[in-house]
Structure 1
């Protein structure tokens, strides 16, 4: 508070004398322009090629996580689709009745249940794949936005007078310690 009053008085005296002084009130350093990333560009790159947004944001360590998720989703998508196709062919064979069933322990209803089960799992894996793909784009967008934040080790500690209300409708006067991260 006292510092603000001193700055205002100094500015007033300088203006009276015809001088203009610029007082820098922001002590935090400005981020370098090359470190600030464009969020739109990061999302566009990530949507074109999964992981390209992370490379643009210089977060290459996230690539194995993203590609591991994509590879896992593709593997299970292919597995569920293969099983769905097997039971679909078995259903056609059972309905025609020309050949013996490839699944002798299952009747037609059991095969239909399996066809529906594996189709449902395959379709769910399409959604999981889409969610992982979208998560990569959202991660690139958020990282690009956060690139302009100051993450320096400059911490400040201030002691300020404090007035705290008490229960008995009076107030207590003390000193507050404020830490800025």
Structure 2
């Protein structure tokens, strides 16, 4: 009898025996998301704008829109070319007019009178001003494009989000019903 008490006491003390204890096993099922969503970084548009402000086209490279870089440099470069060209021609006509006022007539524009020289100066001054405005405008447009593109890149546009017209048959009257279906697939 002592042996029986000793065995029962031993089994209760250690409790790992399956005869006297039941082990509860709970399975917890965790549903994994099948869609991989990108984390949204709210500073991405600001970074892209900052990079474009430092070096035009760098924000477009940050957004991985490499095809826009030649457009940015082409627009700014052409405007800058016309600014420099108009500035040089303005200075040529201005210097010729100044020499005329001093009494010299041996300038390269000897076939122009004074009023034509003044008119040419005004023309090239206006072109120079417009070209400078275009350089600044394309520079700012480059920054805005990088910022907006970085903001729009974060929107979720995939086939799981859809709005499409739908035609379904009514079960009672067997008539066609028309409507819009808003779907979000998991």
| TM-score relative to the length of structure 2 | 0.68
Q: Which moved more, 1:60-69 or 1:100-109?
A: 100-109
For residues 21-36 of structure 1, the aligned pairs below 5 Å read 29=35, 31-33=37-39
Tell me the distance in 1 between the aligned counterparts of 2:183 and 2:128.
51
Aligned length: 147
Match of 2:63 in 1: 57
Structure 1 segments unaligned to the other structure (5+ residues): 1-26, 162-172
Residues 43 and 141 of structure 1 are in contact (CA less than 8 Å); yes or no, is this contact kept in structure 2? yes
Greater RCO structure (CA 8 Å; 6+ sep): 1
1:121 and 2:127 matched: yes
Structure 2 segments unaligned to the other structure (5+ residues): 1-32, 169-175
Tell me the distance in 2 between the aligned counterparts of 1:102 and 1:180.
75
Distance 1:28-1:84 versus aligned 2 partners, 3 A rule: farther
Match of 1:176 in 2: 179
Match of 1:109 in 2: 115
Match of 1:18 in 2: none
Match of 2:153 in 1: 147
Match of 1:12 in 2: none
Q: Residues 114-142 of structure 1: CA distance to partner in whole angstroms, max 9, x if unpaired?
A: 11110110011000001110111010010
Distance 1:67-1:100 versus aligned 2 partners, 3 A rule: same
Distance 1:106-1:154 versus aligned 2 partners, 3 A rule: same
Across the aligned residues of Structure 1 and Structure 2, the Cα RMSD in angstroms comes to: 3.2
Tell me the distance in 1 between the aligned counterparts of 2:144 and 2:126.
27
